[in-house]
Amino acid sequence: MDRNEVTRKILSAKVAKGIKWSEVAKKIGLSKEWTTAACLGQMTLNAKQAKTIGKLFDLDENEIAWLQVVPYKGSLPTAVPTDPLIYRFYELINVYGTTFKELIHEEFGDGIMSAIDFNMDLTREPDPKGDRVKIVMSGKFLSYKTY
């Protein structure tokens, strides 16, 4: 048993039970974005959260314990994504990554946007020409230190 097997079991149970990630998030009291990442093996759940997830997805005690282990982050199977949706994010970074970098450095100075002290909100934005995906990301700015 490992974390990847627990993730596969969660996904299988989610499909079988017809559960939405937003419903799971409400049960543990966190955002659907963070909760989904946790269920997909990218975040560490505390004991209470893990037990709640365990009940929802019929996990045993060993599987619940795996939800509380710090994961190996990064879940893409290849360096260049092959899934069309994920590839568009790769494409977005290829096209706009230098723009993000330039504008962040101009506004904040030399540093990075944290993916640890981070929030994300994904919503549907109705549009008469076809609904849009709206993703808002907010990460703490961390400047490089001199020493």
Q: Which residues are catalytic?
A: 88, 91, 114
CA–CA gap between residue 54 and residue 96 (Å, rounded) = 39
Q: How far apart are CA 31 and CA 25, in angstroms?
A: 6
Cα 35–122–100 angle (5° rounding)?
110
Q: DSSP states of 29-66 as a string?
A: TS-HHHHHHHHTTSS---HHHHHHHHHHHT--HHHHHH
Angle at CA of residue 17, ends 73 and 52, nearest 5°: 55
Classify the C-alpha dihedral 61-63-67-70 as positive or negative.
positive
CA dist., res. 10 & res. 41, Å (int): 10
